[in-house]
């Protein structure tokens, strides 16, 4: 399939496993130069080898834990240094923990909001100026389903991504 992305660049967070990994492979197959980001270097290296073996250019690796305070700046700097610009941002880093109790500590709620909304917003806001300047860019937010089966702290954070992205 030709999505007319050949020569574009992309930063994919949460690229070491699951949906993020599949998105990175799909973009690479379309000729997109990548910066793949996740916490585990060995999984990023495996993905990089797979992409190169399939004929794609070796991705830039960004080994970053998005929960670290300076992660958005380091992640963006790594991607820009390796790619020159970011045309496509795929926010796929995130996750949820088992259901929380109504009286769960505030730290559980704070962690979920930071991981699933605040870092998504911060990374996006870091790459938007370049997209606006070039008058081209795409931001794709992977959040999962919006209807929770039970009380999970990540669900309201991911709903915040939906509302924020609509306003963006």
Comparison of pLDDT for 143 and 9, the residue scoring more = 9
**Burial grade of 81 (CB within 10 A; 0-12, 13-18, 19 or more):** exposed
Structural domain contains residue 1: no
Q: What is the pTM of this model?
A: 0.93
The CATH number for 24's domain is: 3.40.50.720
Q: Which domain holds residue 158?
A: 9-167
Structural domain contains residue 4: no
Structural domain contains residue 3: no
Quick one: pLDDT at residue 145? Answer: 67
Please count the structural domains in the chain: 1
Separation of CA 134 from chain center: 21
2 band by pLDDT with thresholds 50, 70 and 90: confident
Tens digit of each residue's pLDDT (9 = 90 or more) over 134-167? 999 999 999 986 666 778 888 889 989 999 999 9
Question: What is the number of H-type helices and E-type strands within the chain?
Answer: 6, 5
Structural domain contains residue 112: yes
99 band by pLDDT with thresholds 50, 70 and 90: low
Quick one: pLDDT at residue 121? Answer: 97
146: which 2 tokens? 């919006």
Burial 109-126 (b: 16+ CB within 10 A, else e): eebbbbbbbbbbbbbbeb
Q: Quick check: 3 pLDDT over 90?
A: no
Tens digit of each residue's pLDDT (9 = 90 or more) over 12-59? 999 999 999 999 999 999 999 999 999 999 999 999 999 999 999 999
Quick one: pLDDT at residue 146? Answer: 62
Structural domain contains residue 2: no
The answer to whether the beta carbons of residues 142 and 155 sit under 8 Å apart is no
Structural domain contains residue 157: yes
Structural domain contains residue 155: yes
């Amino acid at each position: 399939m030709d999505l007319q992305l050949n020569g574009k660049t992309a930063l994919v967070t949460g690229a070491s496993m699951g949906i993020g990994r599949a998105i990175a492979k799909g973009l690479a197959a379309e000729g997109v130069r990548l910066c793949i980001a996740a916490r585990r270097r060995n999984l990023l290296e495996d993905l990089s080898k797979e992409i190169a073996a399939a004929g794609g250019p070796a991705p830039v690796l960004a080994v970053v834990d998005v929960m670290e305070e300076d992660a958005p700046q380091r992640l963006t700097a790594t991607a820009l240094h390796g790619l020159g610009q970011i045309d496509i941002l795929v926010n796929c880093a995130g996750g949820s923990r088992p259901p929380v109790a109504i009286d769960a500590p505030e730290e559980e709620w704070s962690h979920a909001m930071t991981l699933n909304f605040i870092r998504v917003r911060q990374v996006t806001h870091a790459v938007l100026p370049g997209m606006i300047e070039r008058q081209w860019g795409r931001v794709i937010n992977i959040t999962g389903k919006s209807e929770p089966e039970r009380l999970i702290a990540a669900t309201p954070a991911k709903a915040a991504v939906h509302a924020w992205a609509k306003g963006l």
